Structures are given as C-alpha cells and as structure tokens.
A and B are shown apart, each in its own frame.
Chain A
Amino acid sequence: MTRLTKTGQVLLGVAFVMYLASMTSQSGLLLFPIGVLLGCFAVNWVSARKAAAGLTIEPPANAHLAEGQSLAQPWKISNPTAATAGFIRVHSPAGPLLRIGGLGPGESVSLVPGLRFERRGVFKNEEARIDSFHPFGLIRAGRKRQLPGEVVVHPAIYETAPPQASGYDAMVGGKFKGGRRSSSGSQFSGVRPAQPGDPLKHIHWKSTSKGRGLMTKSFDEELSGRVAFLMDAGQGGDLKILDDCARAAGSLMFAALDEGHHVEWIDLASLNRLIVPPFADGHEILDTLARLEMTGDCLRADRLHGALEKVSRKSAVALLLTTVNEDVLDFAANLAAQGRRVSVYAPDKGAPTGGLGGISVFGYSEQGIHRLS
C-alpha cells in the first residue's frame, strides 16, 4: 500500500500552484522546481516501496500484557537487501510500535517497542504493518507480513470486593467456614477421639498424652461458593463502556477466585461457558476478556435464559451489563423471586437507581466498582 503523506499532499498542491504560475507568467523555467518536487516524489516512491518490501521482522512469540503496559521483548528488524532502508515505522492496530532511523544493507537491529497498549484486545502480529517514508517523507509505502504470534492485552484489573456467591460446597482451601468439622483443612477447630481410618499424622499427640486415648485433630469445614457471571457483550454500543465492563468483570472474577469460589462465565453473545475452578491462575478469564468483541443485540430474554440454563443451578448470578433494559430487569426480578442471589453490575451512568427488590445493584466505572443499592 502506497499513499501520499500530508507533507506530500501539501507539496503536490504547491507544485500545482507553481504550474498555474508558469502559465500566467509564461515562464517554462518554473517547470524546473516542479520537476525537482516530482523527482522527490518519484525517488520516494521507489525507495519507500523497496524498503517496505525488503525488510523483515521477527517479533517475539505471544506476549501477554495488561492495559497500560508496554512490551518487554525486542522485535528484530533486518534489512537483507543491498540498499539502505530508512525512516521505517512498524505500526500495529494499537499504534506505532517502532521508529527506526535507518538500516544499512545486511544490517539488523533489535528494539523494544515503546508503545503502551491502552486498550484490551488481541493484536495479531500479522496485522502489524511495516512502513517506510524513505527518503523524503512524501510517500508512505507499507506492507503487511505473515508474522506468527500475537499480543494479548488483558483488561487492567483492580482490587474490589468479591461478588455474592451461593451454593457453597466443601472445598479444601475454601475461605468460608461451614458448620461441620473435617479431618483436614487449615483452620484448627479442636480434637476428637481417633477412629479407625484416621491418618496417623493427624493424631493430636499433646491431648493424647493426657491419657484419654488417641485424639485426632479436627478442622473447620472449608467451603467455597459459586458465582456465575453473565456478561453483556456490548448491547450499549459503546466500546469504552464495554472495556470498563471487561475490567469490572475481570476484577470481580479474580476477587471471587481469591475467595475460593467457583467461577462460571458466559457472554451473552456467544453463550460459550467458561468454568474456572477456585484458586486457578485465571489466565483463561483474562484471555477470554481480552478477546471479547462488541456484539450488539445480545441482551435479550431468550439469550439470558439460554445462558442461565448453562450455569449451575446453585450459583449466584452476577449480571455484568453495558446497559440496562426491560428484559434484563425482568430476568433479574424472576431470578430473585426464585430465591437466587442476583447482583447487577451496570455502568455508573446507566445503572438503575431505584431499589430492585432483593437484587444488589453495583455501578462500575473505569477504575472501580461501588454499591448503589
């Protein structure tokens, strides 16, 4: 792809004006400076195209970043041709990655892009374009390469309170204390007489030594809950709100995982379910949120019910919305009426302000989540 730059457009206009002047002044000598300008265009066209076609890029393998972070690994740019390539720009859909002054024949350079990735998303390396403006900056010649790998930019998550959970089950490491005792766990509860089958290592020797027979340690039962996130993938049509929503979703899910909850996630556009066990590193969540694309017309009753069928019946339901409509309010009210724990997370500006009868309503913004009712 070869295009005129802004400087090129301006100077082409100047050349045209000079041509008009040459007609009015009847001076053919004015064709000389016009010729110089056009010569610059011609040389620029050839050099830039050659440079853009000849350069090779070796990006690092897949990179994972959070919003606001920069890449840490270098990209290698080589010039295997016999001509100098100059004024090179490597550009990704997220912005300019690299600017290189020049590369002599056979030379290469490894540079770390300084670009900060401000938005979540997946930026495939094959979409990166290498442009050259060499040597006059009048014409930009660019070419895409079939490069492997991608840069995955996760939403920037922040500290927040975990969502409401329900359907607590026994789970080693669960952060919630149950009413029963267990022979294993992290919270020491007391001792009981040993029974056949108790492991020897659980014997509480101190109390056993007091002569009341073999005593075994007992622990508080550890429970973990379940939370199902139903996420609207852009019904509001505002990309920024979708990004805020993705940040809120990521933050809530990580808070839930830290609490030891099971997390289920469904986006209302694809209705694909993602199950993340407690204490997982959450990579799948971030990856899924990074790849989430805006899809309108997904916040409908049929899709909400379809999503609900796919999640555990015991789960609390957290509705992450980019906008609020009648369908979702009815859906939430029905769930609440059935005794399900329901939380609604909506953008600050569009969140329902009135009470929703047993439904917790939260507002989210770019930087945090706060309770509304």
Chain B
Amino acid sequence: MRSALNQLVLLGFICQALSWSGWFLPLANVALWLVCVRIGERRPVLLPGWAESALLGLGSVGGILIGQLPDQSPHFFIGHGITLFQAGRLLRSLDRREKLFSLIAATVQLGVACTVVLDYRFIPILVVTAILIPKTLMELEGEHFPDTAAAPRPRFNWAGQVAVFAVMILFFATFPRGLLSSAFPPLRSGPDNGSLLDSTLDASRGSGPTASRVILQIKGENLGYMRLFALTTFDGVRWLPDSLPGQNYSRFLPPEERVGLPHRVVRVKEVRNLGRHLPTDGRIVALEGRFFAEPRRTFHEFIACRSIWNTANNVYEYWLDPKPDPQGLGRRYGRSLLNHPRQSARLQAWLDEELAGIDSPLEQARHLENFFLENFEYELGAPVLNRLNPVEDFILNDRRGHCERYASAMALLLRMKGIPSRVMLGYVPGKPNWLTSWVNVRATDAHAWAEGWFPGIGWVWFDATPRAEMDLSIPPWRELLDALDVVWYVNIVNFDATAQEGLFTSGVAVLVASAGWARSNPQWPGGILALLALFLIRRSLRGRVACPDRAAKARRKRRVLAEHYYGKLLKILARRGIDRDPHQTPLEFLATLDGRGCPALPDVRRVTDRFCAMRYGDAALSEEDRREIEAALDRIARADA
C-alpha cells in the first residue's frame, strides 16, 4: 500500500472511473484497489496468464455495456479493462517488466482524465501525478541497487520534485500548439441536441448531479437573457421548434465596424449542451470563434451553426446591435406565429374577463405577465397536467410549475389575443464571480420565457415565471471554486496557440522593458549580477574546498557515535559478566558469545555489525539506523535485567 507504484495504480483507477458520471465508479474502484492490495500483501494470489487477459476483456466488455446506460459513455472502454487487469496484478508481486507495464498502464489511464476531467478537479490529479510518477520511477530504479547501511539508497528529493514540476509547466507553456488547437471541423455534423435543455429546466426531472456544473462563462456588461433556440409551433400539448424555413442572416460586420459596440466573450465548457446553437443575448452583428462552422443568425435572434465540436479553446465573441430596428414579420410568417389549436370556451372566457378594459396589446401582455407572477407558484416537479389540454389545466386549475409551463401558457395566451409569440429557451446569467468578474452559467440557469411581437416595437420578452422560494445563494467556497475553475479554463484548458503567442509577446515585452530599465538604472542589474557571481563562486568552492573538511567532520562524528554505541553495548554485557578481552576484535568477541549465554544475541550482532560498518567502513548513520540501534540496545539491556 505504501508502494508508489500501487498508489499510481490507484490514481489510474480513479482517473479511469471519472470517465463515467457520478461517484459510484470512483468509489468502487478505490474499494477494488484496497481489497486487491490487501490480498496481495497478506496472501498473494497468482492468477494464470489467461485469467489476467480474461480480466482485460471482461472489463472492456463491461465498459461497453454499462456505457450504454443514460449519462454514461462507452468511450475509453479499454481503460476499464486495464483497471481489472491491473487489479488482477495487484494480487501478487511483479517483476520489473511487469511493474514498468503497470506504470505505463496507469499513465494511460491518467491520459483519460486529461481528456474528460477538464475542470478544476484535474488540479489535484495533476499534483498527485507530478509526485507519484517520479516517485514510482525512483522506486523501480532503486530495486536495482542495494540499500545497505554503508550506502543507503537516496530518498525522495523535494528539490528534484520541484524541478520536475517546473519542467512540466515550462513544457506546457512553450510546447508548440500548432496541431493541438487548430479548428478541424468534424466530418459529420453533430446532432442538434437543443432538447438537452428540457431536462435541466425542471431539475427534478433528471438533470441530476451535473446540474450545478458550469457550462458557460461570459464576460460582458449588462447581460440579458441568453437565447439558445425558439419554439414556435404549438400543437395543443407541446411547443415545437420552428417548422418554417424562416430567414437566416449570415453576414456580419467586418472588424473595423465593430468598435464601440457591446461586446461579449463566451467560453463554452460543455459543448454538448448547446446542440448546434450559440447562446447570445441580443441581436448580434458580428461573431468570432473557431469551434463551429457556418454560423447563421436566425429570424428568432439566436445563432444556429452547421456543426459545433469540441476544441481546446471553445471561445466565441460577439458584438451586439445596441439599438436594433424593429423587425417585420411578413404576412406568412406572422400568421404562423399566431397558429394554435382552438382552445376551450372556458379558457377564452377567462382570458377575455381577465383582460377586460385593456386595449393595448402590449399592456395586455404585461397584465398577463403580472397575473402569473402574482397568482402562481413556482414549483419544481409539480404534478403532471391534463394530457389533452395541459395549458388550460395549468392556468385554471393547477397554477404551479416551473418556467416551461409559464412560458408555454404566456405564449399561448398572447396568440389567443392575436399577438404573434414564441417560446424562447436559453439561460439567465447570474452575478459576476467576485474574483474573476466572469459570469458563470450553469445548467441550473437554464430558463424558458415567452416573447411577443408588437408592430413598431418588435419582439418583447415576458418572463412570467414567479420567483422561486428557494435558496439560490452560492456559498463562498463554491464561488472560490468557480473562480478557480475560470482561472483554470482561461489559463490552462484554453491555452492554445493564440494564448501561447500572447504569452511570448508579453514575455518579450517584459524583457524589453527590463532592458530599458536596466540601461537607465545600471546600479541595480550590476548589483544583482555581482550577487549572482558571488553565489556561483561560493557554490563552486563548496564542492572543492569546503567538502573535504565537512567530510572529515562527518567521519569523526560517525566514529564517535559508533564508539559510543559499542561502548554502551560492552557495558551492558559487562554487567552480565561477559567481558571482552583487550586483544579481541569486535567480530572475534562476537564469535565467542555464542556459547556464553549472551542475551538477545541477534541484537548484539546487529549493533556490532553496525559498529564495524561505521567505525571501519565509514558507513553513514541515518536517523532510522540510530533509532534501530538504540532500540536494540534497549532490548539487550532489558533482556539482561
């Protein structure tokens, strides 16, 4: 269990388990590791070669099968096979080649974590990796060399560890990213998974533990609701996406015309939640990004792309029109946005009664919005509505539910009053993080609202969802983790060729500025150089001049210690009447002890051997050796008593 290799294998198990969502598999893998290591230490089991291969196959097949379950992925199925294979090998001691293979297998599983654990959870994995890989290599190499009292194997060296860490960071920062971050579009378009939002609108319907995960990070001022896509067709029960071709606008402003326009930068952490849409909070006039293809601004003011894929830098920027012109609908399209199945007389009567005396369509819409806000309750997981006429059931009977119901009801009522409407799905940005000023958007921030079109005004949004009576405050530690997450994403996960170029450019700028400062203040660099030269001279002299003296001192100290401990031993034996003749060497004296009733003879032998090694062989004495000698002397003395 204390073996660095075993610990690295455990880390590999955990990394592999993180390729599945949830905590069950990581915990199960940790338990598996514990059991196997215990068995391997106490009663090793030698599995035949075919059994180990079978474990590899079994784990792989299991990985594929369980990967078919919802929220799981069959990717990295071989890694699960490797987990079982490694577990089988933990049951016995390995030879050097097998140990090297285990190290490589664990490293491959670490590679899985590099691909699937992109958030701050990767930081502890990285730190432990940077400690365990060197430690394991040292452990493997140490097995080739004897660990004797005279020349003990070197221990884990923190200076070397720091150096490894420094090289790792340097390599990460300077290694050319040419092939790592270029935006290769996938050969096939990804699925339009816009409906993934549906499950997160009502968290009680299965958004599960991933709901609190950050999926977007936005930088910008006065952020509005982020539109993702629109539902425009109502069949009486459900709202469906646009069935008409609509109008798409793919021409954006050139860079020189974007100056001064409201600007947003968005980092997408979970591409799969977006389907083929990019969330925006207004009418965009320009868009930049490298992880999507053929973006279009649709009639409903959201951005649809031919495909979106994951890169090391899922960032897009957009510029907004600060005063968008009211949009015309067109006769055909305007009519389609009024379509709805005929509603019951009861609902029509309720609507007419509720809006009696209000003539302006916009005021009617505001009245309905306020009506919902004041008379309804927000509730997650509300009972299922009438299957045939759910909106009427919601408005007239149930009067509780989550945002989808309010948006749906609002949009239907607007259409019943002759106002073209649509249901918008997207996200509501929260407050900026206090540390980074980036706004985190989580899956729980998904929202639905209604929008109505008014002549001369254009689209106006209505959020009829009452405020939830739930604690939405974010604890400080969570904010801190979010901030860490942003820093991690901004500087590490999204560190691509552009960021690298920026780093080099700023590095060069710092150097140029430093050179200019040094020219104007020559005394400072001169002093620093002189100090550096002194340090180097001292360091070089340490090896040549000072060390022999230090070595002699160390030798003297060892001899004194050796004589001290051996003298103590002789005193203890003398008390028992076992005296050493002056002409006897320590080993000769030891040889005579066998038949003289000497107590704790193995301990006496140990102390004598150590004395000879230190006194005549210049062997080093570690703290551990010292404790061992003292314990042996103590045992001899007690045996004597």
Contacts and interface: CB of A to CB of B under 8 A. Distances in A.
A137 B134 contact: no
Interface of B is mostly: helix
A29 B115 contact: yes
Contact of A32 (B140, B166, B168): B168
Contact of A37 (B133, B496, B617, B618): B133
B175 A31 contact: yes
B151 A103 contact: yes
Interface stretch (A107-115, A208-216, A319-327, A362-370): A107-115
A35 B167 contact: yes
Interface in B167-213: 167-172, 175, 177, 179-181
Contacts, number: 199
B164 A43 contact: yes
A10 interface: yes
B166 A84 contact: no
A100 B145 contact: yes
B168 A10 contact: no
A10 to B, nearest CB: 7
Contact of B118 (A7, A29, A87, A134): A29
A274 B210 CA distance: 91
B151 A102 contact: yes
Interface residues of A, number: 57
A39 B100 contact: no
Interface string A134-157: 111110000000000000000000
A161 interface: no
A80 B548 contact: yes
Interface in B100-120: 100, 104, 107-108, 110-111, 114-115, 118
A7 B154 contact: no
A136 B167 CA distance: 15
A77 to B, nearest CB: 8
A101 B154 contact: yes
A106 B177 contact: no
B141 A47 contact: no
Nearest to A40: B134
Contacts of B223: none
Contact of A29 (B147, B181, B492, B539): B492
B612 to A, nearest CB: 12
Given A84-B157, A134-B154, A33 B115 contact: no
A25 B115 CA distance: 7
Nearest to B499: A28
Contacts of B481: none
A34 B171 contact: yes
A337 B170 CA distance: 85
A28 B554 CA distance: 49
B107 A14 contact: yes
Interface residues of B, number: 68
Interface stretch (A15-23, A199-207, A346-354): A15-23
B384 to A, nearest CB: 42
A38 interface: yes
Nearest to B549: A106
B478 interface: no
B150 interface: yes
Interface in A78-107: 78, 80-82, 84, 86-89, 99-107
Contact of B551 (A21, A80, A89, A102): A80
A41 to B, nearest CB: 8
Interface stretch (B122-130, B255-263, B352-360, B570-578): B122-130
Nearest to B96: A7
B316 to A, nearest CB: 16
A86 B100 CA distance: 20
Given A81-B543, A103-B151, A108-B551, A135 B164 contact: no
Contacts of A36: 129-130, 133-134, 164, 168
Given A10-B100, A32-B129, A137-B140, A84 B154 contact: yes
A239 interface: no
A40 B138 CA distance: 10
A101 B146 contact: yes
A136 B156 CA distance: 11
Contacts of A37: 107, 133
B114 A29 contact: yes
Contact of B171 (A27, A38, A110): A38
Interface string B590-626: 0000000000000000000000000001111000000
B527 interface: no
Contacts of B539: 82
Contacts of A89: 145
Given A25-B115, A80-B543, A136-B138, A39 B165 contact: yes
Contact of B168 (A38, A78, A99): A38
A43 B141 contact: no
A72 interface: no
Contacts of A32: 114, 126, 129-130, 168, 172
Q: Report which residue of B154, B157, B492, B620 has the largest number of chain A beta carbons within 10 angstroms of its beta carbon.
A: B154
Contact of B620 (A22, A33, A104): A104
A319 to B, nearest CB: 48
A193 interface: no
Contacts of A84: 154, 157
B137 interface: yes
B164 to A, nearest CB: 4
Contacts of B107: 14, 18, 33, 37
B340 interface: no
A42 interface: yes
Contacts of A100: 145-146, 151
Contacts of A229: none
A21 B126 CA distance: 18
B526 interface: no
Contacts of B548: 80, 106
Contact of B111 (A18, A81, A101, A110): A18
B618 A39 contact: no
A33 B133 contact: yes
B550 interface: yes
A7 B163 contact: no
Contacts of B179: 23
Nearest to A37: B133
B151 A39 contact: no
B148 interface: yes
A99 B144 contact: yes
Given A42-B167, A108-B618, A135 B154 contact: yes
A47 B160 contact: yes
B134 A26 contact: no
Contacts of A80: 543-544, 547-548, 551
Nearest to A138: B137
B449 to A, nearest CB: 35
A255 interface: no
B311 interface: yes
A117 interface: no
A30 interface: yes
A235 to B, nearest CB: 42
Interface in A35-60: 35-40, 42-43, 46-47, 54
Contact of B114 (A27, A39, A54): A27
A30 B177 CA distance: 12
3 smallest beta-carbon distances between A and B, as pairs: A137-B141, A106-B551, A35-B168
8 contacts: A11-B137, A31-B172, A32-B172, A39-B134, A81-B547, A87-B144, A103-B151, A135-B134
Interface of B: 100, 104, 107-108, 110-111, 114-115, 118, 122, 126, 129-130, 133-134, 137-138, 140-142, 144-148, 150-154, 157, 160, 163-172, 175, 177, 179-181, 310-312, 492-493, 495-496, 539, 542-544, 546-548, 550-551, 554, 617-620
Given A135-B141, A137-B140, 7 more contacts: A21-B111, A26-B311, A43-B167, A82-B547, A88-B145, A99-B144, A103-B151
Interface of A: 7, 10-11, 14, 18, 21-23, 25-40, 42-43, 46-47, 54, 78, 80-82, 84, 86-89, 99-111, 133-138
